[in-house]
Amino acid sequence: MLLRPITAAAFSAWCALALSGTVRADQATALSAALVAPANAALRPRDPSVAQAAPVGAEQAPLATPGLPRGLSYTLDLSSAYPLNATGKSNVRLPGGLDAVLGYGFGRHFRIQAGYYQFQEYPTGFDGGSVPLYLQGLSAPIGVANLGAAQQDVTIKNEIFVANFQTLVQLGRVPIVITPSYVARRGQIGGHSDETLVEIGDFPQTVRLRTFEQQLIAFTLPFLSTPRFFGTYTIAPQWLVNTNGANRDNHAQLFQLAYLEYRATKSTTLFVQPSILQNYTPADAYSNHIPTLIYGFSQRTSKYTFIQFLGSTGAATNPIDRERIGIVDVTCQRLPCNAPGTLAPRIGGLHASQVQLQFGVGTPSVVPL
């Protein structure tokens, strides 16, 4: 049989649950801006025009005297975004965003920073097509659920706050920036709260699906420095501040990020930033491992202003049904199935891609990454 159109309320409830795990390039962008940008500023040669690339096999000369940015630094930008992946809802328009960052360097070896970041995305496979519908206790499907029936908006808007302090140390001739950090995030799904009822261990529980806190310690070191190219590698063990909901354990997970930039001119920089992000939301029994790619360019338009283009994409590698994207099937907990709170989705791989255009003052929050 064919399930009658799902009500907007029922659709919203299980769509919120479905979207609880779509955390990927958003946090990678915020972490890269908060952790890696100041570290790169400390490790980058002060005058690229006189830097020299050593011949292959030759002893590498040390970078120009490294030092964290001193004094006050800031970033304030507004952005617009658009999804690149297929979406079931027509005329998808992502909400605009805002980034605000403030930092202060007390000297070459110590710096503090706080940043607020907004990021938008629209995941694939949540409001288009049809999937099998099951009734709790029965092994065979009783029909199909039309995901596009309600054309519900599943736009995700994330808000991320990062606070840290940075220390520069030198191991022999290798400078390393160490960054203990605190990360707090929350989000909205379709313009509504992320609070919803989920089933955890066969018992219902209300959780904030996109609200959690993390702590981490990042280590950043350079691997490339020439007149045109600059690259760093960052690795950071991270933990939840508190476990919530379905979280089973809280052992360290490794966030990793590589950054490579090409300085085309004094005002134009192109960059690429692959990373492996670790996310552990209250609806997750285990941490999600999410390879993420961020790419783009920055153009400084004046001494104090810039324009920046960002592209980002990512998908978890360890969902239960990784071969499927989005919602795999839906289980009706009790009849009637179109009543609010009766539908529970099973989620496969999560994927979202988007582009973002930023207009800002100060220093681009991602470009030095």
Q: Distance between CA 181 and CA 36 in Å, rounded?
A: 12
368 in any annotated domain: no
* pLDDT for 122: 77
3 in any annotated domain: no
Confidence of residue 324 (pLDDT cuts 50, 70, 90): low
Percentage of the chain exceeding pLDDT 70: 73
Token couple for 31: 């972490």
Q: How many alpha carbons lie under 13 Å from residue 186 in its C-beta half-sphere? A: 8
For 74, 164, 169, 341, the CA distances from 14, given in Å and listed in that order, are: 40, 36, 49, 7
Given a contact cutoff of 8 angstroms between Cβ atoms, the answer to whether 207 and 186 are in contact is: no
- pLDDT beyond 60 at 359: yes
Percentage of the chain exceeding pLDDT 90: 27
Cβ atoms within 10 Å of 228's Cβ, excluding its own: 11
Q: What is the largest CA-CA distance in the chain?
A: 74
Token couple for 326: 């989005």
The model's pLDDT over 326-343, given as tens digits with 9 standing for 90+, comes to 777 788 877 877 777 777
Which of 43-47, 278-282, 324-328 is predicted least confidently?
Answer: 43-47
Total domain count, the chain: 1
Task: For residue 171, give the 3-state DSSP assignment.
Answer: strand
Q: Distance between CA 209 and CA 176 in Å, rounded?
A: 36
Nearest to 273, CA basis, from 230, 216, 303: 230
1 in any annotated domain: no
For 47, 228, 262, 268, the CA distances from 265, given in Å and listed in that order, are: 13, 9, 9, 5
* pLDDT for 343: 75
367 in any annotated domain: no
Report which secondary-structure segment, H or E, holds 41.
Answer: helix 37-43
Q: Distance between CA 82 and CA 85 in Å, rounded?
A: 9
53 in any annotated domain: yes
Report which secondary-structure segment, H or E, holds 43.
Answer: helix 37-43
The model's pLDDT over 172-223, given as tens digits with 9 standing for 90+, comes to 888 999 999 999 988 887 777 777 665 565 566 677 777 889 999 999 999 9
The model's pLDDT over 56-88, given as tens digits with 9 standing for 90+, comes to 333 333 445 778 888 888 899 998 888 887 666
**313-317, 324-328, 361-365 — most confident range:** 313-317
Domain of 263 in residue numbering reads as 8-362
Average pLDDT, the chain: 77
93 or 112: whose pLDDT is higher? 112
293 in any annotated domain: yes
- Cis peptide bond upstream of 336, omega within 30: yes
- pLDDT beyond 50 at 50: no
178 in any annotated domain: yes
Confidence of residue 53 (pLDDT cuts 50, 70, 90): very low
**27-36, 68-77, 255-264 — most confident range:** 255-264
238 or 84: whose pLDDT is higher? 238
DSSP secondary structure letters along 204-257: EEEEETT-EEEEEEEEEEEEEE-SSEEEEEEEEEEEESS--TT------EEEEE
Cα of 57 vs its chain's centroid, Å: 38
- pLDDT beyond 70 at 41: yes
In this prediction, residues 105-111 reach a mean pLDDT of 91
260 in any annotated domain: yes
CATH of residue 274: 2.40.160.40
Nearest to 324, CA basis, from 289, 345, 290, 349: 349
Token couple for 361: 């003052």
> What are the start-end ranges of the E strands in the chain?
71-83, 97-107, 110-121, 130-135, 143-146, 156-171, 174-189, 195-200, 203-208, 212-225, 229-240, 253-263, 268-279, 288-300, 305-315, 321-325, 327-332, 343-349, 351-362
